[in-house]
Structure 1
């Protein structure tokens, strides 16, 4: 995600319409307000303002100053200790185990790179890795100020269940009702607001994620991602061929559906983050296999600082997060969604129906904007601010 932000900020818009000439701070404020309305799913509306640059009231400056010398050092030390502890657990319990190696593809072709993970391990070692990972992820969220996480599990209407769920009972030859075991979901699908989404899902179900190739090589985090069973993709590749990525994800979804011991895969079908009030168009990757999915909606209520990771740098976001004493997270875990035959035959319809359900249950606004619109928004914001800085420097 950090690389995504860098990419967005490094591609300024080309047209004059996208780069208005700003001659004063009032022009800047008006331009940003107009942009925020046009690109509402990505706009920050918290006390910290666009890009987290303020301006801050004096009371907020005092709170930040106090937190910087008290809360931030404590939370930083505790979070790094937790990360190191879990890394050591993963290191010890994978020490004499050979990693599972999946499909691989040449790097210069783009798409999938060598897959190597410890999520296919079986036995007590895997149990220790999963349980300690779930527990420490929740502890880390507690350190970040998420002291209480409210989870709700609304029931869908019985009519909707009967239309989408495969028959749970069938009549055998003797006319008796034979109960079938419910189908296992092939993937968990969730809206995407922040990198904190990953921590929550780790604490709840410890699934695999789709991650860029470089994550697997990072100190500490690299081994942890392999224990999660992350699917590594070559996002930096210039090739437009993404068949390898969708194919590997599709294979992992099918594997999780049919094999209880296989790692469940967690997918963010929007493909990018929002400010948490909207739901973007879903990509079809999680729905191509036609297997059931488990929809989860994450909401982060706030009064001062929004934990949504949009238009703000990673360092500034983490700093403000650590400065906020209490953070809130509400989770809506919907029942497993069983697709109809029509949805299985049409992944776009399947994705659209799940999206509408999540928006209704999560009280989210549907938006047709996408990553390309987000690029324009981020780049225009940076272009406007650069022009204003240049203008003030010339005046001085």
Structure 2
């Protein structure tokens, strides 16, 4: 079993407690009931309406020439995602561009915002499913998605127009099936974008921690985003402290969505760090590249490093479910 310190990255720190089912005062229970009746339906309909409006726009966008369709869809997608965030209660979303710097970001890697080299990837800390909406509202990047996503209702056509990288996670994890691994597909996409072979492709967003945290720690980075050795845009997301934490930790999806909707207002600040250009040593060593970008993000944000893993999280989930008698 992991030690208690390794669980620190996954423990909730809001008034709803572990699994979002902690003891509440009678006043808070009454407040939630009132908001469930008066606020949750309105916010739900507004969010769904924004999503369906964008889906309809995507359906109609095929009348546009392919040469302009990607940019038009991206512009509309940013607006639609901002609307979704507004309906969800994120009335104050701040994107802060951290000042351009000339210097070293580790083993001779440099951080600057010259834009001389195209940014083909974005790496971000991962706290919640809301992170995806935040990034879509700002840069409308593409993602690594399961192959089945392309055929799903509503989000299928949206993911296609975003240019998502579809992978069969089961076959891609096998060594002897003749199929490239997910990490190899990511590296190939980034290299093609950097070479100008995919002029209309959106930047690829990756969460290198591989799971979510409670917003106080940064877990070790997986190397997939760093294999191509191309410049990356680091982003640090920080949700506001309040009665409910939008961080998706130790709580079911249904409970999280309800509490997000039932609490009227949330705040979030996203810090866009200068583009990180890897050194020659970092291009040859993805682990070094990942380590140095993670260190840069921690040094800027004050997030603590913790060598916890997804497996540690699952052990904590199991323990909490046993403690509360849940399946």
1:143 positional shift: 0.9
Residue in structure 1 matched with residue 302 of structure 2 by the alignment: 363
- Evaluate the alpha carbon distance shift between residue 59 and residue 189 of structure 1 in structure 2; reply closer, same or farther with a 3 A threshold: same
How far 1:58 sits from its partner (Å)? 1.7
* 1:140 equivalent among 84, 87, 102: 84
**Does the 8 A contact of 2:70 with 2:162 survive in 1?**
no
The aligned residue for residue 199 of structure 1 is 133
TM-score (norm 1): 0.76
Q: Distance in 1 between matches of 2:308 and 2:210?
A: 11
* Deviation sequence 1:28-81 (CA, Å, 0-9, x none): xxxxxx976540111111100000012111221122111101110001111111
Taking the TM superposition and a 5 Å limit, the aligned residue runs for 1:304-383 are: 304-383=243-322
For 1:246 and 1:374, the matched residues in 2 are separated by 23
Matched, 1:214 2:142: no
Q: CA RMSD in A?
A: 2.5
Aligned length: 321
Q: Determine the C-alpha separation between the residues in 1 that align with 2:17 and 2:225.
A: 34
Normalising by the residue count of structure 2, what TM-score does the alignment of the two structures yield?
A: 0.91
**Residue 61 of structure 2 corresponds to residue 122 of structure 1:** no
User: Which of 205, 209, 229 is 1:266 aligned to?
Assistant: 205
CA contact (8 A) 1:36 1:43 kept: no
Distance 2:6 2:217 in 1: 13
CA offsets 1:88-142 (integer angstroms, 9 cap, x no match): 1111112688xxxxxxxxxxxxxxxxxxxxxxx422x323211110111011111
Which position in structure 2 is the counterpart of 1:151?
95
Could you list the structure 1 runs, at least 4 aligned residues long, displaced by more than 6 angstroms after superposition.
Answer: none
Gaps of 5+ in 1: 1-17, 19-33, 98-120, 169-179, 391-396
Indicate the residue corresponding to 1:15 in structure 2: none
The structure-2 alpha-carbon separation of the partners of 1:292 and 1:59, relative to structure 1 and needing over 3 Å to count, comes to same
Shift of 1:284: 0.5
Flag structure 2 segments of 5+ consecutive residues without an equivalent.
none
